Every structure is written in C-alpha cells, then in structure tokens.
Amino acid sequence: MTPTMSALQRFFAAEAAYVSAGGDFAEMAACLATDVVMYQAANLPYGGEWHGPDGIRRFMDAMKETWLSLEFLEQRFVADGDAVVIYNVGKLRARATGRVLNTSVMQLITFRDGLISEIRPFYLDTAAVMAAVADTADGE
C-alpha cells in the first residue's frame, strides 16, 4: 500500500470514529495539512470553503447536524502520485426530515508531505441533497 493510501485509510478511520462515536478530532487533524482546504458546493447546507483543520472540524459538525446517518455501500479508489479519486455510493438519512437519499459523490483528495492538503467533493445531484434535507413540503 502506498503512503498516500495509508494516510487516506487513517483519515477515513478517524473520520468514522469522530462521526459515529463522537471521537477525538485530533486523530483526524493529524492527517491534515495546516493549510488544508475543502471546497463544498455552495448551495449545500454545509457548502462553501472550509480552511484549516478547524474548518474541517466545523464542516464535520455541520455534516452531523445535517445527516443522521451515512452508509457507504461502495467505494472505489484511484491513486495517482499525491492525488486520490474516490467514488462513493452511499445512503444518507437526513436528520431534520428522516428522508433517505441514495446518491454518489466523487472526491478528489490531494496530499502534500503525507498530509491531506485539499478535498474537492463532486455530488451527483445537489438538488436531491437539498430535497432530502429540506423541512418543507417541496422536499416531499
């Protein structure tokens, strides 16, 4: 296994512990460059740019406020040097509505010196995300 894939596995394990068990964010932060940036689609409830490990922590907290559960049914990885593309097929349950969203997300994660320096997720359908989480009749 490459160092990049090992670092990614450590990050995903720390992320799962943080989300499911309220784990210590320090384990996730240890995988992140101090200037890490995550770019989320602006129209999502957790959209925008998230800077630094503290920004990633705030993003994770916003995700926990939005989604009651996240289940990844399939993940595929393609690594090229310091970049990894991950194709995720998932089932998400919205906290506010209880609606289930079956969707896919592609992520480009870039590493520098063995740490995650950039995260760029690409959602299949951001409108479907918003419909699942919207607490209105429009989301029915």
Q: What is the pLDDT of residues 27-84, one digit of tens each?
A: 899 999 999 999 999 999 999 999 999 999 999 989 888 988 888 889 999 999 999 9
SS3 call for 115: strand
pTM listed for this prediction: 0.87
Domains in the chain with CATH codes: 3-139 (3.10.450.50)
- Residues 82-125: tens digit of each pLDDT: 999 999 998 999 989 999 999 999 999 999 999 999 999 999 99
Alpha-carbon dihedral sign for residues 88, 95, 129, 44: negative
Q: At what angle do helices 52-66 and 3-21 cross, to 10 degrees?
A: 50
Q: Contact at 8 Å (CB) between 138 and 127?
A: no
Phi–psi pair at 26, nearest 5 degrees: -55, -30
Q: Give me the torsion for CA of 24, 92, 128, 8, rounded to 10°.
A: 50
